[in-house]
Structure 1
Amino acid sequence: MPLVELNSITPKEIVPGYSARFIHTENMTFSYLDVKAGSALKEHSHPHEQVAHVLEGRFQLTLAGEPIEFGTGEVMVIPSNVPHSGLAITDCKLLDVFHPVREDYRAL
Structure 2
Amino acid sequence: MTITPFQIENELPWEEADQGIQRKMYGHDEQVMMVKVKFEAGAVGKLHSHPHSQVTYVESGVFDMTIGTETKRIKTGEGYYVKPHVMHRVVCIEPGVLIDVFSPFREDFFGTK
The interval holding the TM-score normalised by the smaller chain is over 0.9
Contact 1:30/1:97 (CA < 8 Å) preserved in 2? yes
Alpha-carbon shift at residue 2 of structure 1 (Å): 2.0
Give me the whole-angstrom Cα distance separating, in 2, the residues matched to 1:22 and 1:107.
Answer: 12
Alpha-carbon shift at residue 3 of structure 1 (Å): 1.5
Give me the whole-angstrom Cα distance separating, in 2, the residues matched to 1:66 and 1:107.
Answer: 32
Give me the whole-angstrom Cα distance separating, in 1, the residues matched to 2:33 and 2:13.
Answer: 16
Give me the whole-angstrom Cα distance separating, in 2, the residues matched to 1:15 and 1:24.
Answer: 22
Give me the whole-angstrom Cα distance separating, in 2, the residues matched to 1:95 and 1:87.
Answer: 15
Alpha-carbon shift at residue 28 of structure 1 (Å): 1.4
Alpha carbons of structure 1 residues 107 and 28: separation in structure 2 relative to 1, 3 Å? farther
Q: Aligned residues, how many?
A: 108
Stretches of 4+ moved more than 2 A in 1?
A: none
Tell whether 2:19 aligns with 1:23: no
Give the aligned partner of residue 54 of structure 2. Answer: 50
SS of 1:37 mapped into structure 2 = coil
Alpha-carbon shift at residue 90 of structure 1 (Å): 0.3
Give me the whole-angstrom Cα distance separating, in 1, the residues matched to 2:27 and 2:109.
Answer: 9
In structure 2, runs of 5+ residues without a counterpart are none
Give RMSD over aligned pairs.
1.1
Give the aligned partner of residue 89 of structure 1. Answer: 93
SS of 2:94 mapped into structure 1 = coil
SS of 1:57 mapped into structure 2 = strand
Give the aligned partner of residue 34 of structure 1. Answer: 38
Q: Please, what TM-score do these two structures have when normalized by structure 2? A: 0.90
Give me the whole-angstrom Cα distance separating, in 2, the residues matched to 1:9 and 1:25.
Answer: 14
In structure 1, runs of 5+ residues without a counterpart are none
Q: Please, what TM-score do these two structures have when normalized by structure 1? A: 0.94
Contact 2:5/2:27 (CA < 8 Å) preserved in 1? no
